[in-house]
Amino acid sequence: MVSSSISTVDLSPFFNEEGNEHGKKEAIETITKACSEHGFFNIMNHGIPTDLMNKALQLSKTFFQYPPEEKLKLSPAPGDCQIPVGYNIQPDHSVDKNEYFLVFQPGSSMNVYPENLPELRSVMEDLYSRFVGIGSLLESIINDCLGLPPNFLKEYNNERDWDFMAAFHYLPATESEANGITEHEDGNCITFVFQDEVGGLEVRKDGEWIPVVPVEGQIVVNVADFIQVLSNKKFKSATHRVVRSKGRSRYSYGFFYNLHWDKWVEPLPQFTTEIGEPPKYKRFLVKEYQKMRMRNKLDPPARPEDEIGITYYAINT
């Protein structure tokens, strides 16, 4: 398969008990460059079995092929949860054309699963737990990339209650409309995505849209808004979109490594006062921002440019 045009990072040195300092150094340099320029990179040898990823895609495809009335039984009641757990489909007036099934950590009382597809639950819970481990590893690597004190981000972001994972189904493109998800940045810390062979994920790099070609077994990583704010924009929250294919549905998974909702976020002193740089963002509360983001998703504005993004907190200088 043709390689994508974003960097690929081999994580095997971080799982080697004997240590591979050269491999770790190379990975840190590659991630630092990618996060400084556009916020996207692939990872390989990350510890999640390819068979598990393929099984998850297969089961989600089975679920999304259920009749609408069956899927809607797993939809959240209006106002039940700030993050729409369970089954959701974009409203007709939305420019985004997809449906998704969202879960929190295994054991959460908010999770719902289809009773007639029990394997979906076991596979998603296994996948979720593995993503938490990868999220912790990547957070530690990004900590080193930014030159922060050891374990700084781990101690700052030490609660996993607000991570979530979703399976996505993008409808085939029509003659007049190919948008799956309009261009955006993610409102969390780090996002992990794997997609089927249809592809469609694109990242904006140097002003152009670059397709992220699917490579079996690899996972796409993108830095999101909170890392951009904490680093005072040293690292970029990746701008990306999904373009649908004619005659073909697209299936993918996303894991969103998040911050706790009661956490305050602002540029760290290591990137502002300690180096004589003004902060580029105002201090804000995570739940305030994510509630606005969720309102965008549940009731999308007529114009994509009216959606709330991290620029809402930008300080104009």
- Domain-located, residue 3: no
pLDDT of residue 94: 78
Residues in the chain: 317
User: What's residue 302's pLDDT?
Assistant: 60
1 assigned to some structural domain: no
Residue 95 token pair: 């420019």
What is residue 80's predicted lDDT score, i.e. its pLDDT? Answer: 55
**Could you tell me if residue 147 is inside a domain?**
yes
CA distance 289 to 164: 16
Pairing of strands 179-184, 240-243: antiparallel
In a domain, 2, yes or no: no
Residue 151 confidence (pLDDT): 97
Domain count, the chain: 1
> Which residues of the chain fall short of a pLDDT of 70?
1-4, 78-82, 297-306, 317
Find out whether 153 and 223 touch, Cβ atoms under 8 Å. Answer: no
Judge contact between 290 and 82, C-beta under 8 A. yes
Q: Could you tell me the CATH number of the domain that includes residue 235? A: 2.60.120.330
Domain that holds residue 217: 8-313
- For residue 2, the model assigns a pLDDT of 35
Question: What is the reported pLDDT for 308?
Answer: 82
What rounded mean pLDDT belongs to the chain? 92
Does 288 map to a domain?
A: yes
The pairing of strands 179-184 and 40-44 is unpaired
Which is it for the CA torsion 143, 213, 300, 239, positive or negative? positive
pLDDT digits (tens, 9 = 90+) for 221-256: 999 999 999 999 999 999 999 999 898 999 999 999
Q: What does the angle CA 31 – CA 33 – CA 129 come to, to the nearest 5 degrees?
A: 20
| pTM higher than the cut 0.75 | yes
Q: Give pLDDT, residue 298.
A: 66
pLDDT at 1: 34
% of the chain at pLDDT higher than 90:
79
Which residue is associated with the tokens 């939809």? Answer: 75
Q: Tell me if 266 sits within 8 A of 281, measured CB to CB.
A: yes
Model pLDDT for residues 60-113, shown as the tens digit of each residue: 999 999 999 999 999 987 665 567 899 999 887 777 889 999 999 999 999 999
Q: Quick one: pLDDT at residue 274?
A: 97
Closest residue by Cα to residue 232 from 193, 275, 261:
275
Q: 77 vs 24, 81, 85, 88, 166, CA distance in Å?
A: 46, 8, 10, 11, 18
